[in-house]
Amino acid sequence: MRITIFGAGYVGLVTAACFADVGNHVMCVDVDQRKIDLLSQGIVPMHEPGMDNLLATNMSTGRLQFSTDSAAAVRHGEVIFIAVGTPPDEDGSADLQYVLGVANTIGQYMNEGKVVVNKSTVPVGTAQRVSNSIQTVLSARGESYAVDVVSNPEFLKEGAAIADFMRPDRIILGTESTHAIALMRELYAPFNRNHDRLIVMDVPSAELTKYAANAMLATKISFMNEIARLAERIGADIEQVRIGIGSDPRIGFDFLYAGCGYGGSCFPKDVKALRRTYREYEEEPNILQAVENVNQHQQGLLFHKLQQVFNNQLQGKRFALWGLAFKPNTDDMREAPSRVLMERLWAAGAQVQAYDPKAMQETQRIYGDRDDLQLCTSPTEALQDADALIIVTEWKVFRSPDFDLIKSKLKAALIFDGRNLYDPKRMRARGFQYYGIGRGDQL
């Protein structure tokens, strides 16, 4: 099948590479010439495990190509995916200018019937707006072609996106077109062999499903963080509570880890956008507001603990920071808790010595050269003469470190663990002053 993907960002690139890998001919188009030049050379401008090899394999066969030629891209695809960004607007709503811009481009250049698929995360009603935009441009051209607009939200986890695409939990299709359903079934058949994962529903339900899924996961995280606050006050250990409630199959263990807050490109943006949709319909998103409030509190919690331990005297202190990306196995720092922490430390006059396995270049891009930020080449280098170690991202490399080495490098045996990687009793037995999240330390 001939497929066009508009948008060579995270979702678009994964979608393009995975469809090409099962034999389709895919053209991925983007307005960013530099990004397209890099991709055409086989250089992936982001970190996603397995993407380098997947890209190289399918480019070498000619099944995957990159371009900035929108007209050629529209003509190429029987199915055209829209996978461009929907950044939050000033009021928290999803900014649809790029989605609707692609719709106008499709209407301008299409010369036969198309199935247009919304892969971007968009509010309810966007598919209709995309259809209307295409038809308006076609009418202005004096042309009439069949256009089916399908909602097909993505459920990719950064760091595991290829596996998620190749072996999906579910494939959501929002459409009432029998032609589009048949075509999409054929397209997704290679990823749907073990059992039928394809769920067809009306378009508004499909659009809402994506937001509801991310809001539910964000709610689980904030709920555990809320319980963690109480655990600290009463001397309970949130990790033991997690195991106790997670063993209930109605609840499960996923997304029950207390910590220093969620970040990334999805949860913060989608919770805000869903809240905005509620208010457009004059409804109050009470739970979602609480989810967001709790997360804002959690992102400032490590700094608050530092203030308490150091009696608000952070001026001139030096802190080792392990983890910059918002989660492991990515270099994405959008809405990352590390950014909140570093910026507050700098405002208080402290210095940061930071290490992350993948996000160093992204940190440099965001903050540039600063006297109060040292980007280190190893976890050990970050520890040198620091007043404390702060763990912000739960990379595997941080899970079983040499604690004797840590103690020898730090000025004081002091650890603030924003991801609860270590056991408090064992850490104290090793001579560390240790503060986690909800571990009964009452800070």
DSSP, res 124: T
Q: Given 18, 260, 266, 376, which residue is catalytic?
A: 266
Q: Which has the closest alpha carbon to 289: 311, 274, 304, 310? A: 274
Alpha-carbon span 133 to 286, nearest angstrom: 34
Q: pLDDT at residue 255 above 90?
A: yes
Is residue 402 exposed (0-12), middle (13-18) or buried (19+ Cβ within 10 Å)? Answer: exposed
Alpha-carbon span 114 to 232, nearest angstrom: 57
Burial 34-57, CB ≥16 within 10 A → b, else e: ebbeebeeeebebbbeebeebbee
Type of residue at 94: A
What digits encode the pLDDT tens for the residues 412-440? 999 999 999 999 999 999 999 999 999 98
pLDDT score, position 443: 61
pLDDT score, position 213: 96
What digits encode the pLDDT tens for the residues 348-357? 999 999 999 9
pLDDT band at 41 (very low <50, low <70, confident <90, very high): very high
pLDDT score, position 442: 62
Alpha-carbon span 287 to 297, nearest angstrom: 15
pLDDT score, position 90: 72
Alpha-carbon span 186 to 181, nearest angstrom: 9
pLDDT score, position 261: 97
Alpha-carbon span 393 to 323, nearest angstrom: 4
DSSP, res 369: S
Q: pTM, whole model, 2 decimals?
A: 0.92
Alpha-carbon span 98 to 84, nearest angstrom: 6
Q: pLDDT at residue 114 above 70?
A: yes
What's the rounded mean pLDDT across residues 193-219?
Answer: 95
What's the rounded mean pLDDT across residues 173-177?
Answer: 97
pLDDT band at 91 (very low <50, low <70, confident <90, very high): confident
Q: pLDDT at residue 182 above 70?
A: yes
Q: Answer yes or no: are the C-beta atoms of 326 and 335 closer than 8 Å.
A: yes
Token pair, residue 185, equals: 């079934």
Type of residue at 397: V
Alpha-carbon span 423 to 426, nearest angstrom: 5
What digits encode the pLDDT tens for the residues 349-378? 999 999 999 999 999 999 999 999 999 999
Is residue 133 exposed (0-12), middle (13-18) or buried (19+ Cβ within 10 Å)? Answer: buried
pLDDT score, position 193: 86
What is the rounded end-to-end Cα distance, in angstroms, of the chain?
Answer: 58
pLDDT score, position 191: 95
Triad 56, 86, 95: Cα angle to 5°: 155
Type of residue at 225: N
Residue for token digits 């109480």? 230
Distance between alpha carbon 303 and the CA centroid of its chain, in Å?
Answer: 23
Strands 388-391 and 414-417, sheet pairing: parallel
Taking phi over 0 as left and psi of -120 to 50 as alpha, with beta for the rest, 431 belongs to: left
Q: Answer yes or no: are the C-beta atoms of 81 and 23 closer than 8 Å.
A: no
DSSP, res 396: G
Taking phi over 0 as left and psi of -120 to 50 as alpha, with beta for the rest, 217 belongs to: alpha
Q: pLDDT at residue 205 above 90?
A: yes
Q: pLDDT at residue 46 above 70?
A: yes
376 is catalytic: no
Token pair, residue 29, equals: 């188009």
DSSP, res 143: -
Beta carbons within 8 Å of 299's beta carbon, 6+ residues apart: 260, 261, 263, 337, 340, 341
What digits encode the pLDDT tens for the residues 328-353? 999 999 999 999 999 999 999 999 99
Q: pLDDT at residue 219 above 90?
A: yes
Alpha-carbon span 424 to 248, nearest angstrom: 25
